[in-house]
Amino acid sequence: MTLALPPVAIIGVGNMGGGMARNLLAKGVAVHVCDIDADKTQALHALGARVAACPAQLASVAALYIVGVVTAAQVNDVLWGEQGLACTLQHGDTVMLCPTMAPEDTEAVAARLAGQGVATLDAPMSGGPQRATLGTMSLMVAGADAVFERHHAVLKALADPVFRISERVGDGARTKLVNNLLAGINLVGAAEALALAERMGLDGGRTLQVMAASSAQSWIASDRMPRALAGDWAPRAHMTLLEKDTGLAQQMALKAGYVGPLGPGAAAVFAQASAAGFAELDDAAVLRHLRAPG
C-alpha cells in the first residue's frame, strides 16, 4: 500500500517511535528520523528512512514533526536544547507530542511553540510496539480543529483508532494518564491474583486461561502475563514507564482534588518493583516482584 502523504519527521525512534516509522515507510511515506541511538536510526535507514544527526538538521523536511521520546525533560531537550528542533521550525509547522507527560508540561510546551507560530497536537499513543508497526495503535488527540483536520490523513495512517479528545491541548495527556492509571491497576491486580494462585499450588497458566475467559479479563493482563509466566522479562515496556505514568496520574489526581482507593497502591507497587531491581525489565516483571515472600 502506498499513500500520497507529505513527509513526516520522527524524533525518538525507540519502541513506539520506531514502530510508527516502520508503519509509515511500509506505506510509502517519506520518513525522516533522529535518535541518539545510532543503531535504531540505521535500522530504519535500511528500510528507506532519511537520518538526521540532530533535531536541528530536520529543518524544513516536513510539516508534521512527531516527538516520540519518553519524558517532558527529553521533549524540552529535543526542541530547545543544543541543536534543538524549535530554532528551525517555520510558521505553520506542527509538532505532535506523543510522550506520556503531565498535562501542565504539555500545555507549557504548546504555549512556547505557539509563540513561534507553531501548532501543537497533544497526541499520546497506546497499544505497544507491534500495534505501532501495524498502524493499529490508538492515538488520543487534542488540539485545534483546523490543525487536526490538516494532519488527519497522517493520523489515520499511524493509528486505528484515532480518538478526537477535544480542542484543549493537555486533554490528550489527561486522557492518557487516566488510561495508564487503569492499565497499571489492572496489571498489578492480575499479577497479585496469579501470585496468590501460585502460592496456593494452582497452575498459573491454567489460572490465566480462566481469567482471560471470565470476569477478570483485561487486555494488559492477557498481553503481559503469558510472557511473565514464561519467565520472559525482555523489556517491551520498561517497568519505569508505568512507574512514571502511575506517579504522574497520582500527581494529576491530587491537583484535581481526588484521591482514589486503588491508584496510590498500584503506583507504589511499580515504584517498589523498580527499587527492587526490576526497573529495566518488562513491566510484566511486576509478577516476579509480587511472588516474593512478604
Residue 137 C-alpha from the chain's centroid: 10
Strand (E) or helix (H) holding 11? strand 8-11
Task: Give me the catalytic one of 27, 40, 156, 176.
Answer: 176
**Residue entry with cell 494529576:** 252
**What is the spatial distance between Cα 98 and Cα 96, in angstroms, rounded to a whole number?**
6
Strand partners, 97: 67, 122
Strand partners, 159: 137
Q: How far apart are the first and last CA of the chain?
A: 54
What torsion do the CA atoms of 108, 109, 113, 115 make, to the nearest 10 degrees? 20
Query: Is 176 one of the catalytic residues?
Result: yes
Closest CA to 123 of 82, 76, 159: 159
**Residue entry with cell 490538516:** 150
Closest CA to 285 of 225, 244, 241, 245: 225
C-alpha cell at 13: 525512534
**What is the spatial distance between Cα 174 and Cα 168, in angstroms, rounded to a whole number?**
11
**What is the spatial distance between Cα 238 and Cα 187, in angstroms, rounded to a whole number?**
13
By annotation, the residues acting in catalysis are: 176
